[in-house]
Structure 1
Amino acid sequence: MSADPADARFGPGAARLSGHAALLLGWTPETFWKATPEELGTVLAAFAPAEADGIDRTTLNAMMERDCDG
């Protein structure tokens, strides 16, 4: 039975994420490991930039026509 490649990546990835939580949030390893993924995601979402609505196709076409290089 071969090992799942995801299993081999979990340890190093979790250690990295624990380090990020310590630096960004001031969490101890114990706090990190007691947190659920949802709790961690909720706290980290506060660091994400606000979502932009984007632009519609009409606005994009107008910008492309106005700012074309040729």
Structure 2
Amino acid sequence: MDRAARLAGVIPAMVGWRPDDFWSATPAEVAAILHPPELAGTGDGLSRAELNRLMERDGHG
């Protein structure tokens, strides 16, 4: 639970979720935010444009 509580503070700030959004997300959704498949193995950070594109695709933007 300690890790979940820490992530509950970080994930919403990263992607603009409300706390309820985080707590209702599946572990796979949280993992996808932390390690998006599009960036797997690239070592590059997520640009704001890419984040916006992903959020629009998922209906959160």
TM-score (norm 1): 0.47
Report the counterpart of residue 60 of structure 1 in structure 2.
none
Q: Which letter maps to 1:25?
A: V
Name which structure has the greater RCO, CA cutoff 8 Å, separation 6+. Answer: 2
Kindly state the Cα deviation for residue 50 of structure 1 after the two structures are TM-superposed.
4.4
Q: Partners of 2:40 and 2:24 in 1: how far apart? A: 28
Kindly state the Cα deviation for residue 23 of structure 1 after the two structures are TM-superposed.
1.3
Q: Partners of 1:17 and 1:43 in 2: how far apart? A: 11
Pick from 4, 9, 12: which aligns with 1:22? 12
Measured on the aligned residues, the alpha-carbon RMSD in Å equals 2.1
Q: Which letter maps to 2:14?
A: L
Which runs of no fewer than 5 residues in structure 2 stay unpaired? 43-61
Instruction: Spell out structure 1 runs of 4+ moving beyond 4 A.
Output: none
- Give the number of the structure whose alpha-carbon radius of gyration is greater: 1
The percentage of counterpart residues that share the same residue type is 40
Pick from 25, 38, 49: which aligns with 2:28? 38
Aligned length: 41
Q: Partners of 2:26 and 2:5 in 1: how far apart? A: 15
